Amino acid sequence: MSRLGKLPVALPSGVSATVANDTVKVKGPKGELSLAMTNLVTVSETEDKSLLVQPADETTRARAMWGTTRANIASMVKGVSEGFEANLELVGVGYRAQVQGRDLKLSLGFSHEVVYTPRQGITLSAPKPTEIKIEGANKQEVGQTAAEIRQFRPPEPYKGKGIRLAGEYVRRKEGKKK
């Protein structure tokens, strides 16, 4: 029995949810998200303004999707009410980031500047030249954007230069010995 799946997803004030045709739509102050559900779980709205997820049958796959679907819906509710954010750090001499309109312009030691255009619903900002802040309502898209930006110059183990997530530990290697 799923311990997380049993818990109802509470809807905070200002957030509304509709369940129709195997789709859950959640609308809040930060935007609107939808989730296409599988037929292995059922979602119902309770009278105390919360969503309850139940498995359709007792198969192993249905029980696995029970907790997953509940976690995805809870993530959507948090996204449209509070939003998600990811912070990146640029480590290296001359590594800089700046926002021009919606685009992110990165100087990463290449012969050219890298320009990254985020997908719809993602907001990029650079509070400092060596920091990037990614904000959005969809948790998966915020993480995917952070991964795509990090991929331009992942941290290397010898000097530690590159783009890393805030607080990420980069295991350092010892260099050549004489």
Residue 1 has pLDDT above 70, yes or no: no
Write down the pLDDT at residue 2. 62
Residue 4 has pLDDT above 90, yes or no: no
Measured CA to CA, the distance from residue 68 to residue 150 in angstroms comes to 27
Residue 150 sits in which domain range? 84-165
pLDDT band at 49 (very low <50, low <70, confident <90, very high): confident
Write down the pLDDT at residue 162. 94
* Model pLDDT for residues 71-94, shown as the tens digit of each residue: 999 999 999 999 999 999 999 999
Neighbours of 135 (CB within 10 A): 17
Domain boundary (50, 81, 112) is at 81
Write down the pLDDT at residue 143. 95
Q: Kindly state whether residues 135 and 94 are assigned to the same domain.
A: yes
Q: Kindly state whether residues 28 and 63 are assigned to the same domain.
A: yes
Q: What is the mean pLDDT of the chain?
A: 92
* Model pLDDT for residues 121-149, shown as the tens digit of each residue: 999 999 999 999 999 999 999 999 999 99
pTM of the predicted protein model: 0.87
| Residues shown for the chain | 178
CATH number of the domain bearing residue 152: 3.90.930.12
Write down the pLDDT at residue 21. 84
> Helix-strand-coil percent breakdown of the chain, rounded to 5?
20, 35, 45
Domain boundary (51, 81, 111) is at 81
Domain count, the chain: 2
Domain boundary (39, 63, 81) is at 81
Q: Kindly state whether residues 77 and 99 are assigned to the same domain.
A: no
Mean predicted confidence (pLDDT) in 15-19: 91
Measured CA to CA, the distance from residue 34 to residue 108 in angstroms comes to 36
